[in-house]
Structure 1
Amino acid sequence: MLIPMSLLLAAIHWYLWKRLVRDVSAPGGVYRRAATAALVVLAVTVPFAFAGRQLGLPFAVQPYLAWPGFVWIVAVLYLVLSLLVGEAVRPLVLRLLRRRDAARADAPGAVRAGDAVPAGTTPAVAEDAAEEGAADVEAHAVPDAPGRRLVVSRGIAIGAGLVAAGTLGYGVANARNLRTKHVTVTLPKLPRAADRYRIAVVSDIHLGPILGGSHCRRVVDAVNRTQPDLITVVGDLVDAEVDDLRSAVAPMADLRAPDGTYFVTGNHEYYVETAAWMDHVRELGLIPLANERAGLPYFELAGVNDISGEGSDFGGPDYEAALGDRDRSRATVLMAHQPVMIHDAVDWGVDLQLSGHTHGGQMWPLTYIAGAANPTLAGLERYGDTQLYVSRGAGAWGPPVRVAADPDITVIELRTP
């Protein structure tokens, strides 16, 4: 897997070098040397950003490579998308410029074919001349006039850079702009005394080399401001070991709700020492539900381990243990990290499942991929008699960027029929 990904990364960066460096600069120039070096350095940071821990980097070192590596990979995404649009536009623009230059060549006093091509012609101009034939050399032979292909290449490169920089800047700012959503869910089995009961749902906080204590504090304060009756943290809290994140995760101890704060594992809790984290969240005052159930005054609250735990020492979901002996006349709310677990929830007669995991796709156009991989990308949907709510998450995995997938916490207000 590592070799194919490395080859793909190298191919993408070669394409970026071709379009952003070679086609817009003269050989040996300062820009070409500096831009080539920058592309190589940035490309090297990417694997360290994604696999710094697996490669043995100390946690204190990881942020210095994770930040540039993750931010750069987002820039690469939008640079490539913008350049691909440029590839489609390029022939049309060149055709229009050829017509303009042909008209100028017919004017009195125009430079004719056979004149020397000006010194300093870039490979892009030479390539243009070879492709377009001798008739088009006239346009390149105009003294002190840049070649058509060079003009177009530079225009596309500048446009792609502006689009990528603008999108990246917006996405970084948007990732810090945590929204609070309010959703109403009617549960037929809910007693009238529980009407307007408020559950805060928060997922995918992703504390690690990128998002630390200030991010955790921002999330905790946002949750507490909603003054919920119950808080549910539905997985992917961390991306590093307990000893690396003790100070970053400490604000979680300040979460406040009359009926408590409950936690279930996400897939990222299985990339670290799962049991150690379950013990630590308990020390912080959160109540882990590892295939367990809590009998709350108005409904049953159950939690199952994430499906990524199947085959691990900590274990995956066990619906029999969490739901098997419950009172089915009472409403049941299930905490399960991944939306794909909804099918088991339906089979077990759950009334409401709370999930995260998808990040709402986190960045367009990855939203389409996430939508295809999950039954519900974000929001509230019904599956038979079971309702599923999927949060877009409060943090971000990898790049601290959100585009067309705003981060959120959600307050679900339960209503009787």
Structure 2
Amino acid sequence: MATPPRRLFLARAVAAGASLAATAAVGYGTATTLRGPVVKRVTIPLAKLPRTAHGFRIAVVSDIHLGPILGRAHTRRVVETINRTHPDLVAIVGDLVDGNVTDLAPAAEPLRELRSRHGAFFVTGNHEYYSGADQWVDHVRELGIHPLENARTELPGFDLAGINDVAGQTERAGPDYDQALGDRDPARAVVLMAHQPVTIHDTVRYGVDLQLSGHTHGGQMWPFTYIADATNPTVAGLERYGDTQLYVSRGAGTWGPPVRLGAPPDVTVVELASLRA
């Protein structure tokens, strides 16, 4: 039996509307990505932070994902966004790249222009190990950025530590908390850079005050939001686990299609607060 003309018209109209809505959503999500990250600001009190370090500002950026689609112009947008915040320190929390140094060194070059009072620091993400983590650790050092490979440095008022990503276990270079934190002064506050939020439970056991992470992209877009929520203790924002706080950035780039829906890219300025101020 032939479909009545009215019903056929309605079916075609619904299909066309759905197609237009999907196209509009993808277009909007792509434009959101290519405009560059927005700036978020969050104040995080740390019990051990001295009054002299009250107001210390860390520009946190993760998941820049330089590659065939997001290249040098993307890096420049990220760098300019960070520099406009005039941070005390820059923390690059993994997944900087999707490719090797030979192909992506020009795209990474604007990172040399990062500006902050105490420098820029970097820890590996899982994607660095897909590309060759050692070459990228060496290259970011050439760009004036300090890699923290299961290591720690003392800053005015607190320690900054970093652990390798869990993906490094395949190369016998995974996270080593003892190496990063074993001999520290427990009276000093410590901020830990760790790419994946899933390390938070180990972080709690080591008495870390604040963990800075990325990896989730805030879900990036449906249906990946469900996967991110199912596989990470925190998808985005600030949460407390025991005496440790965890902040997860939505990241500045994308994995796969350069589309973000409901999870715009960000650079977060974390302002540390002393309870003694």
Instruction: Answer yes or no: same fold by TM over 0.5.
Output: yes
Give, in whole Å, the separation in 1 of the partners of 2:154 and 2:274: 19
**Partner of 1:271: helix, strand, or coil?**
helix
Residues 1-12 of structure 1 aligned to structure 2 (within 5 Å): none
Match of 2:151 in 1: 292
Give, in whole Å, the separation in 2 of the partners of 1:167 and 1:229: 37
Residue 126 of structure 2 is aligned to residue 267 of structure 1: yes
1:181 to 40, 45, 56: 40
Residue 162 of structure 2 is aligned to residue 303 of structure 1: yes
Q: CA deviation at 1:297?
A: 1.8
Match of 2:117 in 1: 258
Equivalent residue letter for 2:159: E
Match of 1:330 in 2: 188
Residue 16 of structure 2 is aligned to residue 158 of structure 1: yes
CA offset digits 1:147-170 (Å, max 9, x no partner) = 73x323312220121111110111
Match of 2:66 in 1: 207
Identity within the alignment, %:
63
Match of 2:262 in 1: 404
Match of 2:87 in 1: 228
TM-score between both structures, scaled by the size of structure 1: 0.64
Larger RCO of the pair (alpha carbons < 8 Å, separation 6+): 2
After TM superposition, which residue ranges in structure 1, 4 or more long, deviate above 3 angstroms? none
Match of 1:415 in 2: 273
Give, in whole Å, the separation in 1 of the partners of 2:126 and 2:92: 13
Give, in whole Å, the separation in 2 of the partners of 1:312 and 1:381: 31
Q: CA deviation at 1:257?
A: 1.0
TM-score between both structures, scaled by the size of structure 2: 0.96
**Partner of 1:310: helix, strand, or coil?**
helix
**Partner of 1:311: helix, strand, or coil?**
helix
Give, in whole Å, the separation in 1 of the partners of 2:270 and 2:71: 27
Give, in whole Å, the separation in 2 of the partners of 1:318 and 1:185: 26
Give, in whole Å, the separation in 2 of the partners of 1:399 and 1:168: 10
**Partner of 1:156: helix, strand, or coil?**
helix
**Partner of 1:216: helix, strand, or coil?**
helix
1:318 to 173, 176, 184: 176
Across the two proteins, how many residue pairs are aligned to each other? 274
Match of 1:83 in 2: none
Give, in whole Å, the separation in 2 of the partners of 1:387 and 1:240: 32
Q: CA deviation at 1:364?
A: 2.6
Match of 1:381 in 2: 239
**Partner of 1:239: helix, strand, or coil?**
coil
Equivalent residue letter for 1:371: D
Q: CA deviation at 1:311?
A: 2.4
Equivalent residue letter for 1:176: L
Match of 2:108 in 1: 249
Give, in whole Å, the separation in 2 of the partners of 1:278 and 1:196: 30
- If you compute each CA radius of gyration, which structure gives the higher value, 1 or 2? 1
1:355 to 210, 213, 216: 213
Residue 142 of structure 2 is aligned to residue 283 of structure 1: yes
RMSD between superposed Cα atoms in Å: 1.2
CA offset digits 1:109-143 (Å, max 9, x no partner) = xxxxxxxxxxxxxxxxxxxx2xxxxxxx6x75xxx
Equivalent residue letter for 2:224: L
**Partner of 2:245: helix, strand, or coil?**
strand
Match of 2:200 in 1: 342
Q: CA deviation at 1:395?
A: 0.7
Name whichever of 358-367 and 195-204 sits farther off: 358-367
Q: CA deviation at 1:394?
A: 0.6
Equivalent residue letter for 1:287: H
**Partner of 1:251: helix, strand, or coil?**
helix
Which one has a larger percent helix, Structure 1 or Structure 2?
A: 1
Equivalent residue letter for 1:151: F
Give, in whole Å, the separation in 2 of the partners of 1:360 and 1:167: 17
**Partner of 1:180: helix, strand, or coil?**
strand
Give, in whole Å, the separation in 1 of the partners of 2:94 and 2:133: 12
Give, in whole Å, the separation in 1 of the partners of 2:228 and 2:201: 18
Gaps of 5+ in 2: none
